[in-house]
Structure 1
Amino acid sequence: MSGIHVEVDSQTCYTFPLLAVNATALDDLPEKIDVTCTPPLTGRVVRLQKRGQVNEYEGAHLINICEVQVWGCRDGLYGAECVEKCENCKGSDPCSAVSGHCPHGCQPGWQGDTCKQECDAGKYGNNCSSTCGHCNHGDACHHINGTCPRGCAAGFDPSDPLCKKTCQNGRHGENCSEQCGHCSENKPCNPVNGTCASCQLQFKPPLCKVCTGNWYGTSCELNCSTKCGGDGSCEKDTGRCVIGCVAGYRLGESGFCNETCEQGKYGEECLQKCGKCNGGCRHDNGHCVAGCEDGFEGDLCART
């Protein structure tokens, strides 16, 4: 084996050293010699070529080999020891037996020269070129198909597995479970927080779901009663007075301030008693409209 060069497509794999020139030098060689190319080489032709000194020992010019076996990595493996596994090559192509490189790129969801690295967070699909949708809790989507592991963020349609479609049909919020308010010109509200750019008349921004001031009703088309006490406000769905009634009125069974004080009473909550009036007093301020009984005077007929 003295001076033999092992080449792979003209690339030097290994060169055997020159042996001392004597009749017994070849007798010391082992029966089997393993040669490993370092670094690993790829090619189609393995060549063994004799080089070396010329001398009187004729045997030194000969290559006497009984058998040559050329070993390479099995399909699906690569590297110096053929222990690295090819993975995720596009079209299930075999990778390079030396480097593990995938010749035609990676399957969807994978990147890198050996296609063993998942897409960066926020990316998925073929060549990791697609951007994730709006996943709930800020989750990254699945690196292969882009689906969100825990559903969609507020404002995005839960029926869309990629969470890229906003809420439709006047809905907003988490799982699109909230109904938009009364946005002006029936425009859609913000799909995330439900706010309107502006409201229809008598609705309070930004959600446009509650009546402003002293309006009530499903469309805020009704005025609260002028007999409501305090700031005149009423319940926005029923119109019932929130802070009782103005002086001279009381809540009836319906909850509206549509009944005057009973005979002989006046004022807030009808708690005051009329004075010594002829024919009763006003229900709001207690004034005696027909004057006082004998012996009494004043608007309230309370002085003698």
Structure 2
Amino acid sequence: MKLKWISLEYTVTKKGTWTKTIMGKTAQVCLVLICQFGLSKQLCPECTCCKNGSIACDSNNTCTEGCIAGYYGVKCTEDCLQNCKTCVNDDGCTECERGFYTTKCSLQCGKGCQDKTCLISSGQCSCKSVDFVNDTCDTCSGNRYGDECNNTCLS
């Protein structure tokens, strides 16, 4: 397979934002796609990370319909915390990536949580097995052990 290198050019605009050009054509469309599909947690220029893109941006560059997942702020230019899927500010996650919980998405769901999902507020979940002790599915009962508490200790 042959790879072809493309020359990139960066231009700083009067507002302090930057655009990238590829062979003379602006690549802001690429930035929108990168933001929309969460391929990169990079700076999102004003209006490019609004829900429904720039059509949901008013004359003050304020997003009128909210932000896409991973961004927040009136202009949707701020990144949510790591493991935070949606947020309202820099420490107020409203939805975590799979496998995490708390308002900062900083704790992992129990090893036995079904589909690695749990409640954001408490870490409670449906366990993969009846051999877990509590509703956070992080401790095996009795003499059981393993990721699914499916192994038994020898007596």
Q: TM-score range with shorter-chain normalisation?
A: 0.3 to 0.5
Higher share of residues assigned strand: 2
Q: Tell me which structure has the larger Cα radius of gyration.
A: 1
TM-score normalised to the size of structure 1? 0.23
